[in-house]
Amino acid sequence: DILEEMGPDEAADLLADLPKQTSTQLLELMEDEDAADVRSLLRYPEDSAGGIMTTEFACVPDGLRAAEALEYLRRSPDAQDDEAMYYVYLTNDTRRLCGVISLRDLVMAPPDAPLDAWIQREPVAVGPYTSQEEVAYLVAKYDLLSIPVVDEESGELLGIVTVDDAIDAVLPTAWKKRLPRFF
């Protein structure tokens, strides 16, 4: 139950640190959908974009108007699970990444307006095997709050790496211990 309450990326990190037999047993106890999310993350190297990404992010079908996109998000379980919704990703029916819009731009767009005027059609993205250092570099270079992780062949949106996970992945452990805890 505890693993299912964690985000899939956090559960995958925890299971990766356990002996193989123990992590396999724990995965078998999880709900099928939750276990599938965690298994998909465990197949990537720990120091790659796939290893630090989360599969909980907000996406809407491409081609919606602003009001339709907002309503879609209100009803979407994926959006409800997204604790750090900075961007909304637009995908086609095969989950290929078609663009991205900031949540602010989506909220400010006229309700009946097609989102095309606000969408960034070719967002900065990384593949699942991109190094965590490269992910952090791109997040910093383009001042991003999250970066999409896409399959290099199909263009399918696999997950996102949030800025905090990108920074956490490259900060030396000694620095992390010196940082004050606020909560």
For the chain, the domains span 2-43, 59-168
Q: Which residues pair with 150 in a beta bridge?
A: 157
Please list the ranges in the chain whose pLDDT falls under 50: none
Supply the pLDDT for residue 151: 97
Architecture of the 59-168 domain: Roll (3.10)
pTM above 0.85? no
Check residue 182 and give its pLDDT.
Answer: 56
Which of 27, 60, 28, 64 has its CA nearest to residue 42? 27
Q: Which amino acid is at 1?
A: D
Containing 131, the helix (H) or strand (E) segment is none
